[in-house]
Chain A
Amino acid sequence: MTDQNIVKKEEQLVGDLLETRFLTPRGAIFSQTEGGFLSLAVDGTDYGRVKVIRAFPFTDPARYLSVRQADNEEREIGMIEDLDVFDPDTIGWITRQLEMRYFVPKILKVREIKEEYGYSYWWVETDKGTCRFTCDQNGVTKLSDTRLLISDIDGNRFELADTGGLSAKELRMVDLYM
């Protein structure tokens, strides 16, 4: 084997690891099974059940979705750069998967936040109903100056999309944890 050949083979091997395939409606055909699983076929290859993961869950949730095999290896099949280019059915299926995976109730109203011994007790109204949960000291993450992600002691997440939309009283309670 000549040096050139080795280099070529090497490049191909590394290339497989380093290159990302982008999935478009032209090659990728998604479908939803009866049991609610998402499956994918690309250019005739059937991958069976797949998972969809957001690459930028906070800053760009509808774009740069990584589609992976649902087995333990979770090998990436490809990325969706923009979900909007797919047909409405596919958008619906994928959105359903994403909403299941990223189940994060949005906080609409803060009723009460109590603090005791390093834990804060939140009583909030969310788009999924009223919730009461407990956070430890690292529970509140600032995603931006006005956007907060709140995780309770079991890792359940809640989002406060815009602190600017809160009343002065709510803001005063939340402000202590920002």
Chain B
Amino acid sequence: MNTWGERCPGVRMRGTWFLVSGIGLLGFIAPVVGLALSLTPGRTPVVREIELLSQAFHYDPLQPGEAHTRHALGGRIEVRWGERVVLHLRAADTAHGFYLDGYGINRIVQPGEEVTIEFIAIRPGKFRFRCSETCGPLHPFMIGELVVTPNLPFYGSALGTIFLALAVVGRFWWLKREA
């Protein structure tokens, strides 16, 4: 029997509700804070040079001088927040594009040439780069990822998800118990 609920049900219900709402609110605030932080520019002017080989329908990031392997695990580049990124873009088979979400960079590279793209990773988070030059059937899905660490939007939103789940489960655990 729920004895504490009977002693002062109204107050208890409000208290629990505030607790649940607080947790839920925190869950929503966390990613927003993460995204707000992401607008702050970085401070460390370290230069990261990366060779990026594009071929239908993926990008293979290589360290300078590294031999190309056909089935690289993924076109994912990780850099630190604030680093100056220098990409040496090449095309292996046909002309490909490089459009970086959130940075407004859009370049095209022809086979046999190298295009150098420079930018500062001013925002943490994941930004996709996409082929912007029609290159074959899967062209719209030719996508790579630039992850600027620490990936605050991801960690913030993941926390938000966990808090949200706790809040919804908590609602049934505490409020329904009092009903």
Asked if A and B are interacting partners, one says no
Residues in A lying within 8 Å of B, measured CB to CB: none
